[in-house]
Every structure is written in structure tokens, then in C-alpha cells.
Amino acid sequence: MKLRVVAIGIVASLALVACGSDSKTETISTPAPVDTSAEAPFDNAAATTETTMAAEAGDIVAVAAGNPDFSTLVAAVTAAGLVETLQGAGPFTVFAPNNEAFAALPAGLVDKLLLPENKDTLVKILTYHVVSGKVMAADVTAGDVPSVEGSNITVAVEGGTVTLNGSSKVIATDVAASNGVIHVIDAVILPPGLDVSAL
């Protein structure tokens, strides 16, 4: 099922949340050939296209850092020591929570996650928002998808809306980066079994 994408200038890094009510996405792109050499976790039956912005957009971290809506994500990626990783060749698909998504977490949790002693937990959360390969919105299908963290993300596609783990909606798609693509989500997702209540 094809999503319509919003062209938004994104900042951010991963790395990888208030619930958004908008179930639709809009489109942004000027087609250009996509690198399909890396294996993607979603079904890619045919070569996809990407915007010509990709070559000029910078890497995932640079794109995220250029958008104030991803300031919390960028701070988290920096605290987790994942900047260099997300600046790598990839390609990566990042489901990036915006600032509202992080703000919806329990009070004080973000500040605790940014502390050095909680770095390992933060890394798990952020890498759970990253999938290996470049997966454009048109190629997303329902099912379980392995994240870089190691646990699966459960993807549902219904009526043009993509939902992760039954709670986080994709609200903007196909944000171009030189080493992958960013899809914006309205809620932070946590790896199965990860308990952050004790932080």
C-alpha cells in the first residue's frame, strides 16, 4: 500500500513522542535511481526511486540536525555515541521520533536516558528505531522487521497508514539522506522486555 509523503526538511539522527492524529502522509520527491545493493528488510520487488536531494542532503545525522523538530533525537544520538555510526555508509532506514514523541514519554525519562550511566539503555532504544537497508515508503509491507538493536519491529499497514508496534504512527516519509532515508514517527518505541521504569 503506497504512502503519500510530506516533504519536510529533517534534522536528525537516529538514532530514533506524542501521539499524532493525522493518519495521512503526503509526497515530496523528484525521482532518481536508488541504490539497491544493500539488502532491505521489507519486500523490495523492484528498484525504488529517491529524490535528487539525497546526494546534497548530507548524512542522516546532518539531516536530522538541520531540523529543530529533531533536537531531542540529535541530543540522544550524541549522548549514545551513535553519531559516527549514523554517519557511516549504511544504508539505513531510521524511524525518527520527533520532539513531541520524546515529550510524551514519562516525565523526566528523557533526562535520565541522557545520563552517562544510562548510555547502554539509550543505545538499545535508539538502535531499535533503525533498520538496515534503504526502505522507501512505497516498499513498506506489514510484518515483523529486524531492527539494528536485534529485536523485531511489528509493522502494520492499513488504509495508507503505517503503524509500528501498534502504537507509533509514521507521520512523514521518505526524507532523503545520503546514506539512507528517514521516516518520522509520533511515538518512541521500546524494544520488547526493556524496562525503563527503574531508571
Q: Tell me whether residue 115 is in a domain.
A: yes
Q: Tell me whether residue 75 is in a domain.
A: yes
What's the grid cell of residue 85? 555510526
Distances (CA, A) of 151 to 16, 127, 194: 14, 10, 11
Q: Tell me whether residue 125 is in a domain.
A: yes
What's the grid cell of residue 188? 518512541
Q: 175: domain CATH number?
A: 2.30.180.10
Q: Tell me whether residue 131 is in a domain.
A: yes
Q: Tell me whether residue 7 is in a domain.
A: no
**What single letter denotes the amino acid at residue 9?**
G
| Residue pLDDT tens, the chain, 199 long | 333 333 333 333 333 333 343 444 443 343 444 443 344 444 443 333 344 445 467 999 999 999 999 999 999 999 999 999 999 998 999 999 999 999 999 999 999 999 999 999 999 999 999 999 999 999 999 999 999 999 999 999 998 899 999 999 999 999 999 999 999 999 999 999 999 988 8
Closest by Cα among 160, 162, 130, 133 to 148: 130
Strands 92-97 and 180-185: parallel
Q: Tell me whether residue 67 is in a domain.
A: yes
**What is the three-class DSSP state of 186?**
coil
CB 102 within 8 A of CB 188: yes
Domain count, the chain: 1
Q: Tell me whether residue 103 is in a domain.
A: yes
Q: What per-residue confidence (pLDDT) applies to 77?
A: 97
Grid cell 510524551 is found at: 104
Domain of residue 37 covers: 32-185
Closest by Cα among 21, 12, 25 to 174: 25
